[in-house]
Structures are given as C-alpha cells and as structure tokens.
Amino acid sequence: MSFMNIQFFHKATLPLFLGLCLLLASYSVSIAPIYQGPDIQIIGKDFYKDLESEFNRYSYQIDALENGVPPLILQNLPGDLNKIQSSKHRKSIFFKALLPMILLANDEIRVERKQLLIIDQQLSAKQSLNEQQLQTIATLSKRYKVKFYDTQPEKTVDKLLSRVDIIPEDLALAQAANESAWGTSRFSRVANNLFGQWTFIPGQGIIPKDRPEGATYEVRKFATIYDSVRSYLHNLNTHSAYKQLRELRTRSRLNGQSPDGLKLAEGLLRYSTRGEDYIKELQAMIRSNQLSRFTTAKLRTSS
C-alpha cells in the first residue's frame, strides 16, 4: 500500500470543456495549469465489450500505436474484467484503458517542468525573473511540497526539478496492474483506486476488512480512474518515502538519460511491506509484458 471533485455520470463521451474541468478540479491538491493538449473524450462503460467497442471506434490497437494514443479518460473500469478467460485479452484491455490517462497526466507534469527549465536557464544566466515567473515558482512549491525561498529562487527551482518530473509509463502500468489485480480488485471496482493509496481523513475512503485494530487509514475513493492516476504520480513525486526514486530519476537526467521504469522501481522499497520482493515483481512484470514499448507512446492531437 502507498502512503499517502467533479463527478461525471454520463455514459456517452463528453466534450472538451468538461475534460478541462476534470483536469482542473479532479484532484483536490492539484493546481496544475490549464491543460493545453489534445481534445479529450471522457467515457464510462460497465462492460468490457462496450469498452472494446469504444476503442475500436477510435481505431485504438495496443500493438499499433504508430498513429498515437487517443486521449481518453475513463470514469471507471468495466466491472466484468474478471469474466475474461484469456489473461492476454484481459491485460490488453487493461493496458489500453490506462495508457491514455498516464500519458495525459505525465503531459500535465511536462508543462510544469518546461516552465521550470526555462526559469532555471534564466537563473543560470544570471537573468532576473519577472513577477509571473516568481508566482509560478511559489505555486509549484505549494503543489509539490517544497519550501519557497523568495530570496533564493534558484534553491527552490533546484528542489522542484527533482519532483516535477514524469513517472515512466512502464512503471505506472506495472504498479496499476499489481495493486489492482489487473483492475479486478474490490478497491479498483468500488473506489476507482488502482494504486492502493490511503487516506487518513475519515469518510473519504473505504475501510479495509482486514484493517488492524486501532488503525485509522482508509483506502481512498476517487471520482474517476484519472483522479487515481494523477494522485499516484503526485504521491511518488512528493512523499518522503519515495525520495530514493526521485534521486534515481534526477541522476538519470544529469546523465542525459530519460527516466527508466526498471531502474526507478528500485526506489519503491517502502511502497509495499513486501519490500525487495515487491520491487522484483514489478520489474518482472515490466519485462514479461514488454511494458517499455509504451514509454515512447504519444497522444494523438485529437481523439
């Protein structure tokens, strides 16, 4: 288990306007900028065959991503994924469902990181920052839980750059599959919680049946699957338990390399009580399902 809104009820796809509202309001601590990417379709299907029909409507095939991934947000996963006899078939639907949302959430982070990199370049060149840039630093400091040094912006930006960064798609997919039993677990079905995230605010989650006596945590409920994805990324980027993951990612960046899921998994020792065994299982899932192929996937400009 990890440490740690707008609701949509329509089953048909919704227009871009509602998509933007979801991105801005879905996660309570989010103060991310308005999303400037492709137009987004929000869908909700209770049965996997209906979800597959949606994928076919968008010509979305998991082994043919040359034309990009359609920007789709799922309100929920189909409740009958456990009825699929073929594990290959079930995995295919699960990956197709999650990949667009992971790409969307990472693109939000890329927007923020790009702003920081421009500011960092100016500071390195000894150029002064304008009021809007200083406000950007202050806003991101609040979101990513970094102390804001108003007289030393370079110190704040340096700390932020270690946090405002993507989580590789292969690692996110492996953790979602592992934590949610491929979208069939109780918490993924009734709480849209794919990553085992907790809350300590009474009433905002579901009490696990096996919760130890005296414990106060609940398994957090999310309005949509996308909320769960964004919360997961934010959790890894801010919680002290995952400092090692962020250090490994920063080291990769300094060496001119993109973040690697297999490597970053080593920084998740505290994500599960299973420790090293959990890390090895994630790495095995990445390899056996060839999840690294999704790290180069791109969103289409429209659905």
- pLDDT > 60? residue 9: no
List of residues 6+ apart from 104 with CB closer than 8 A: 23, 35, 37, 40, 71, 73, 226, 299
Kind and range of the H or E run holding 27: none
Cα radius of gyration rounded to whole Å, the chain: 19
**Torsion on CA atoms 2, 267, 260, 118, rounded to nearest 10:** 90
Of 1, 28, 6, 30, the C-alpha closest to 19 is 6
Pairing of strands 198-199, 218-220: antiparallel
Closest to 225 in 3D by CA, of 10, 22, 20: 22
Stretch 1-29: mean pLDDT? 37
Cα distances (Å, whole numbers) of residue 32 to 59, 162, 173: 30, 17, 23
Could you tell me the pLDDT band of residue 33, with boundaries at 50, 70 and 90? very low
pLDDT in tens, 93-135: 999 999 999 999 999 999 999 999 999 999 999 999 999 999 9
Pick the CATH number of 16-296 from 3.40.50.720, 3.30.700.30, 1.20.1050.10, 1.10.530.10: 1.10.530.10
Residue ranges per structural domain of the chain = 16-296
DSSP state of 73: E
Q: What is the pLDDT of residues 248-277, one digit of tens each?
A: 999 999 999 999 999 999 999 999 989 999
Predicted confidence at residue 209, as pLDDT, reads 78
Single pTM value for the model: 0.86
| Packing angle of the helix pair 153-161, 87-124 (nearest 10 deg) | 160
Distance CA 236, CA 225 (A): 17
Q: Which residues pair with 2 in a beta bridge?
A: 197
* pLDDT tens digits, 43-93: 989 999 999 999 999 999 998 898 899 999 999 999 999 999 999 999 999
Residue 203, pLDDT score: 77
pLDDT in tens, 166-211: 999 999 999 999 999 999 998 899 899 999 887 877 877 778 778 8
Residues 6+ apart with CB under 8 A from 256: none
DSSP-assigned letter for residue 269 = T
What is the reported pLDDT for 147?
93
C-beta neighbour count of 20 within 10 angstroms: 15
Task: For CA atoms 276, 277, 281, 282, give the dihedral sign.
Answer: negative
Whether the predicted pLDDT of 24 surpasses 70: no
From 33, 13, 14, 15, select the one nearest 23 (Cα to Cα).
33
